[in-house]
Amino acid sequence: MDLGTSLINVALLAMLFVVAVAIIRMRSLFAIVMLAGAYSLLSATWFVVLDAVDVAFTEAAVGAGISTALMLGAMLLTSRTAKSERAILGVVPFLVCVLTGAVLIYATIDLPALGDAASAANSHVGAQYLERVQADTGVPNVVTAVLASYRGFDTLGETCVIFAAGVAVVLLLGFGERSLSARSDKGRSRKESK
Amino acid sequence: MVQFILERANYWAIIGLMMVGLYITFQSANMIKRLVGLSIFQTSVFLFYITLGKVAGGSAPILFGRDAKGHGAKVDHSADPGTHGTEVAHAETHGLIEIYSNPLPHVLILTAIVVGVATLAVGLALVVRIRESYGSIESDEVRRMDIGVADAQDADALVEATS
């Protein structure tokens, strides 16, 4: 990897760290949600550096766009600030996180080096897709070809998951009769209290 | 040694980000902040996966230049669908000129991002329902209310048993 790319790597990782640590310190939920959107956008930029342009596109649209909108909506329906945490309670999670991180870093010693073309992940199925895609599908974008053609059933399953999630949200929040009655009940009690 | 560290520094940084997400999830009592921590953890896992698919000197997995040509003159592969034995030879004749990153992690993470948003939506809907029922989204307050209700029920049961 050349110097320019390394510098971009370091800068993006530093920004990701700053944003993540800022989220720990914040109490205003609006700021937290906005910083989460910024985190998504920064990671989308990093995906571009790592050659994953399709992933970057999706992360920017879905991760930074739709999730942020969803979280803002939920924040408006609930509350605007988080309660301040007691400092003593933070010690145990901190120790657990440090321990987990240490174990994971120990596990990376066995991993192939970054950018290793001969690693197990890069040399078998992925390479096969790259070599065959032109003859099999004629689509130059390999990610699209794998997503929609080779692994089309995966994408169908994904659509089922999204449908199930949508149904779950509708069942939880309620639309039509239930939500309307709830709203009019609230309005009535508010009028009575006045 | 320096080489070894440089080749793995990205993994370690991503693990650090992952742990920050985990810490937010553990430490925060506010449920929306918890979900934010969870999505930070999730995004870090995506970063880790994509890093594993990076090939040095490679470009995005979109065929270009001479690799993308020969579209019209391609071997008629669809005409003989049963000949799986010839596929290895077939792949060899179509060797690539340019270097590309591994497309497979990208596809898996594309699916994971969308599913992640779906689960986030369900989580947020649960938080909104909890707020409707308890009037709070701080998990310790919700737990205190639950324990209060359980204590009251126990006391009632005790009164009924003794009378």
Domain regions of chain B by residue span: 2-57+101-162
Buried b / exposed e over B99-126, threshold 16 CB at 10 Å, is ebbbbbbbbbbbbbbbbbbbbbbbbbbb
Out of B43, B50, B57, closest to residue A39 by CB: B43
User: In Å, how far are A121, A147, A188, B104, B119 from B42, measured between CA atoms?
Assistant: 20, 21, 43, 18, 11
Residues 59-78 of B with CB under 8 A from A: 59-64, 67-68, 70-71, 74-75, 77
Are B104 and A146 a contacting pair at CB < 8 A? yes
Interface residue B144 vs chain A (CB under 8 A): no
Residue range A9-21: average pLDDT?
A: 92
* B130-146 b/e (C-beta count within 10 Å ≥ 16 → b): bbeeeebbbeeebeeee
Between A31 and B66, the higher pLDDT residue: A31
The pair of three-digit structure tokens given for residue A145, joined into one six-digit string? 């070809």
Specify the pLDDT at position A88.
Answer: 59
By CB atoms closer than 10 A (0-12, 13-18, 19+), residue A36 is buried
Nearest CA in chain B to A116: B55
Q: Kindly determine whether residue A78 and residue B127, on different chains, have CB atoms separated by under 8 Å.
A: yes
Q: Where are the domains of chain A?
A: 1-85, 151-194
Q: Distance (Å, rounded) from C-alpha A135 to C-alpha B90?
A: 9
Alpha carbon of B111: minimum distance to chain A alpha carbons (Å) = 7
Determine the Cα–Cα distance for residues A55 and B51; give it in Å rounded to an integer.
Answer: 12
A-B contacts at Cβ under 8 angstroms: 298
pLDDT of residue B3: 79
A58-88 residue pLDDT tens: 999 998 999 999 999 998 888 888 877 665 5
Q: Residues B65-70: what's their mean pLDDT?
A: 71
User: Complex ipTM, two decimals?
Assistant: 0.86
What is the pLDDT, as a whole number, of residue A186? 52
Q: Decide if A121 touches B, using CB distance below 8 A.
A: yes
User: What percentage of chain A exceeds 90 in pLDDT?
Assistant: 41
pLDDT of residue A176 exceeding 90, the answer is no
Inform me whether the pLDDT recorded for A191 exceeds 70. Answer: no
Please report which helix (H) or strand (E) contains residue A10, including its range.
helix A3-25
Give me A49's structure tokens: 């550096």
Task: Provide the mean pLDDT of chain A.
Answer: 84
Positive or negative: CA dihedral B54, B60, B61, B63: negative
Domain B2-57+101-162 grouped into CATH 1.10.287.3510? yes
CA contacts within 13 A on the Cβ side of B37: 22
